[in-house]
Amino acid sequence: MDIRKGIGVSPGVAIAQAFVLDAEELHIPQRRVRPEAIAEELQRLADALARSQEELISLRDRTAQRLGTELAAIFDFHLALLNDNTLQERFRDSINKEFVTAESAVAGVLRSYAKEFLQMPQEWADRVKDVYDIEKRLLRQLIGQSRENLTKLRGDVVLLARDLTPSQTANLNREHIRGLATDAGGRTSHTAIVAKALGIPAVVGLNDVTTSANAGDIVIIDGNRGVVIIDPDQPTLEQHRQYERRLVEFEQSLDLVRDLPAVTLDGHEVTLLGNIEFPEEALTVLGKGGTGIGLYRTEFLYLGQETEPTEEEHYKAYCQVLEVMGDRPVTIRTLDLGADKYTQKRSAIPERNPFLGCRSIRFCFQNMGLFKTQLRAILRASMNGNISVMFPLITSIMELRQAKMILRDVMEDLEDEGIHVRSDVPIGMMVEVPSAALQCNDFAEEVDFFSIGTNDLIQYTLAVDRANERVAPLFTGANPAVLGLIKQVIRAGQRHDVDVSLCGEMGGEIEYTLLLLGMGLRTFSVAPPSIPELKKLIRSVTIEHARQVARRVSTFVTDTEILSYLRDQVRQVMPEAF
Ligand code: PEP
Ligand code: MG
């Protein structure tokens, strides 16, 4: 039995066999397979060799045509290496005798092969780069295969991965994946957000879970405590099965408040909206007692498929959400691509620092066709429901004005084409960069609403990468500087009569609810599974109590004092939440 501690990002307990996904290209863990799986590994190796050979032949022929036979000869060398019987025999031997996966065999054999090259005369030693190249090609074939397998799962599994790419996350097989554990990631990485939205128990930031477990091992994922247990003994297994039953009972007890209004004991109304990534989640929001969508992360439409979505695809997705929501509010955020929500492979120019790079609204401004396609679809859909448009990652007034101007242009184009759209669609912005929070009084003159994105606001205020497990303990909304910015935005909203909601993960974390209410926040947009718990707490407190909490918090100067005080307060009102 092996117990690992990580960051619990999506609650619940999952117990199932492990499916280990090798998602990292060059670090291939030495992973053993069961003897009965050897034949399958040998077949995977043979397929990878054959496909790599086809690739090389076509590359050689194309290079010869374009650049001449001399340059094309490099691929002849690769082909000769790949077809070398002795080398192929070494791969097979490694699988047969060491019981490892095909990718482990390829990585292991080619790395020692590379070392042998380095011992040779210079002319050969220089060719070590070609050995690495062959290794990469073969590994890509093999890893590509295991990625494909992910969509073809038959039985229930818990998925262990280094991390998931956004497109893998967007295509997660919800039917068979009971739980998720990753080596990388933080509390608000895209993997964490999607797992929570889908209600899949998840733990991230485990560092080495993929090298600690073998495919087929029984694994427990405890998303509440952030613990993963590999190969548990019988008493531990039984204990977790009981714990799982208790959690289900707690969930069921929350069903009782689902259809009741979110009103405090002293009669203050609070609005609870849902965050969604996929149109189908709109139903879940209603099922959990949400009264609208406060954040539709439309970039997942993009991430879930290979090609750019067309205007019709955007339009269909938005109408699907509106059909479910009726006249309830739906806030559509324009594409927030880039940084962690864009595979670097798909970015034409890889960036050294993508979180500070061409992401989000900046990316849209540089890809005007893509941006306008989405705006057209949103405006057309505006005729079918209660839509608002929200721009992400706004950092300056000029940027906001530019986004609004483009929206107006698109509106005029549609009118010229005789397509009717609503001219009074509310326009809002995410406040998720410190510059926007600090200048919120000016921004308030130019928008209809603010939505505070604490995931990015924390990241940019504290200089902590939200997806990096190595700095995850530094990522906290309880930092007084972060709280100061949030307070400032809520105040600006009150002063200028601009609606303010909060849609970062912090809004769904029960320890912050009292504090945020006390600061004056009245609209929360959270992952749908968090809605019932939040509602139960709101119905159990008074605004007077919340204000006292906020006043007390403003006297503390460290995040640890704040968090322990807040936990204590919530525990007194709703002990079962912990
Ligand atoms: C945020 O930054 O808080 C937010 C809600 O947006 P995302 O997590 O999609 O970046
Ligand atoms: Mg954000």
Task: Examine the pLDDT at 249 and tell me if it is beyond 90.
Answer: no
Task: List, for residues 428-479, the tens digit of each pLDDT value.
Answer: 999 999 999 999 999 999 999 999 999 999 999 999 999 888 898 999 999 9
Percent of the chain with pLDDT over 70: 93
pLDDT tens-digit map of 181-225: 999 888 888 888 888 888 899 999 998 888 888 778 899 999 988
Task: Look at residue 31 in the predicted model and tell me its pLDDT.
Answer: 73
Task: Note whether 212 and 231 are within 8 A (CB).
Answer: no
At 24 the pLDDT is 42
Pocket test residue of 430, 485, 486, 530 for ligand 1, highest count of atoms within 8 A of CB: 430
| Rounded mean pLDDT, 324-342 | 91
Would the CATH topology of 35-143 be identical to that of 258-577? Answer: no
- Test site for ligand 1: of 189, 432, 530, most ligand atoms within 8 A of the Cβ: 432
CB atoms within 10 A of CB 1: 12
52-61, 89-98, 284-293, 323-332: which has the minimum mean pLDDT?
Answer: 52-61
- Residue 416 or 129, more confident: 416
Q: How far is the CA of 94 from the centre of ligand 1 (A)?
A: 46
pLDDT digits (tens, 9 = 90+) for 516-526: 999 999 999 99
pLDDT at 391: 98
Residue 67 has pLDDT above 70, yes or no: no
Ligand 1 mean position, distance from CA 467 (Å): 12
Please give the number of the atom of ligand 1 that sits closest to the Cα of 455: 3
SS3 of the chain: helix, strand, coil, percent, to 5:
55, 15, 30
Closest residue by Cα to atom 4, ligand 1, is 453
The residue whose C-alpha atom lies closest to atom 8 belonging to ligand 1 is 455
548-566 pLDDT, tens digit each:
999 999 999 999 999 999 9
Ligand 1 contact, 503 CB (< 6 A): yes
Architecture of domain 35-143: Orthogonal Bundle (1.10)
User: Residue with the nearest Cα to atom 7 of ligand 1?
Assistant: 455
Cα radius of gyration (the chain): 26
CA distance 479 to 363: 30
Q: Decide the pairing of beta strands 523-526 and 271-276.
A: parallel
Ligand 2 centroid – CA 466 distance (Å): 10
Which is the closest atom of ligand 1 to the Cα of 451?
5
Q: Is 297 in the pocket of ligand 1 (CB under 6 A)?
A: yes
> Ligand 2 centroid vs 156 CA: distance in angstroms?
32
Given this model, what pLDDT does residue 23 score? 43
Full-model pTM: 0.76
Q: Would the pLDDT of 58 be above 80?
A: yes
Query: Residue 359, Cβ neighbours under 10 Å: how many?
Result: 23
| Cα 398 to Cα 250, 361, 395, 443, 497, distances in angstroms | 48, 12, 9, 10, 22
CATH of 258-577, one of 2.60.40.10, 3.20.20.60, 1.10.630.10, 3.40.50.300: 3.20.20.60
- What amino acid positions are annotated as catalytic residues? 190, 503
Ligand 1 proximity of 454 Cβ (cutoff 6 Å): yes
Is residue 100 within 8 A of residue 32, CB to CB? The reply is yes
Please report the pLDDT score of residue 423 as a whole number.
92
**Domain covering 2-21+156-168+176-245 assigned CATH 3.50.30.10 in the classification:** yes
Q: Is 432 in the pocket of ligand 1 (CB under 6 A)?
A: yes
* 3-state per-residue secondary structure call for 44-80: HHHHHHHHHHHHHHHHHHHHHHHHCHHHHHHHHHHHH
Ligand 1 pocket member 532 (CB < 6 A): no
pLDDT over threshold 50, residue 148? no
- Please write the tens of the pLDDT for every residue from 12-48: 999 999 988 864 445 566 677 888 889 999 999 999 9
Instruction: Tell me which of 135 and 557 has the higher pLDDT.
Output: 557
Ligand 1 centroid distance, CA of 42 (Å): 44
Residue ranges of the domains in the chain? 2-21+156-168+176-245, 35-143, 258-577
* Sign of the alpha-carbon dihedral angle for 346, 352, 355, 361: negative
